[in-house]
Amino acid sequence: MPQRVAFVTGASTGIGFEAAIKLSKAGMVVYAGARRVEKMEPLKAHGIKVLPLDVTVEASMKAAVDLVLAEQGRIDVLVNNAGYGSYGSLEEVPLDEGRRQFEVNVFGLARMSQLVIPAMRAAGSGRIINVSSIGGKMYEPLGAWYHATKFAVEGLSDSLRLELKPYGIDVAIIEPAGTDTEWGTIAGESLLTVSGQGPYREQAGVVAAALASTSGTALSTHPRIVAGAIAHAASARRPRTRYPVGRGAWTILALRRVLPDRAFDMVFWNAYKRFAA
């Protein structure tokens, strides 16, 4: 049997970086793509091939997929990890930024899937792993655009799972809680830039502190843990449809399922109050 081939997007840092290493250690041929190619240099020591990839640029996505197919003749696993968090009040975030959030988090993921599906379908097998978030099931103030994209990823993935099942292609969703990466810090800084001085400044301070708590604190989960869930989804004979992972992920999702909206709102704000000091 030939080695399975995996392609990981958003692999310059954090979850994507660690997932590429995990998949390589699992015996796969791994390609890692990101805009910041220099950040992926350490992956080469693991035998991982790195390439430039911008999931908002059609030519970049097509060139990357074509390269992998030309060199390997197959793509068995696609990990759609590229994404970022755009925070700020809906009133203050420019619509162009909202569109960019969808371009990266949803349309980039969808286009990468479109590009690999024909080869997977021809092979009669494949695995598409979409990195969503517990934010695809719950919500925060000042995170409307981000949460909208993750809700979209959840629905897109469920529909895609059904339509690809007859062709032997599995679709799995990874739902991390707060992860110890640069994501939370960057999202919090962006939030304060947009809404830190205006009418939403009080909320912005609380939410930005909560986002920052996902970086380097006991409340965060190391990206290697999330990468482990990705590796399981990539290699399991029958992967789960969803993988909630990280500290508090199961608890938060369980509360969201059983509590009415107003009760969940109250739980949310009580939990976030500790960041206000």
Going by C-alpha positions, the residue among 23, 82, 26 that lies closest to residue 49 is 23
Q: 189: Cβ–Cβ under 8 A, 6 or more apart, which residues?
A: 208
Q: Angle CA(138)–CA(175)–CA(15) in degrees, nearest 5? A: 130
Per the annotation, the verdict on 87 as an active-site residue is no
Helix (H) or strand (E) holding 159: helix 144-164
Q: Are 131 and 79 in contact (CB under 8 A)?
A: yes
Token pair in block for residue 277: 């000091």
φ, ψ (nearest 5 deg) of residue 8: -115, 125
The residue from 31, 87, 146, 243 that is catalytic is: 146
Distances from the Cα of 149 to the Cα of 70, 102, 227, angstroms: 32, 6, 21
Going by C-alpha positions, the residue among 207, 242, 267 that lies closest to residue 131 is 242
Task: Write out the catalytic residue numbers.
Answer: 146
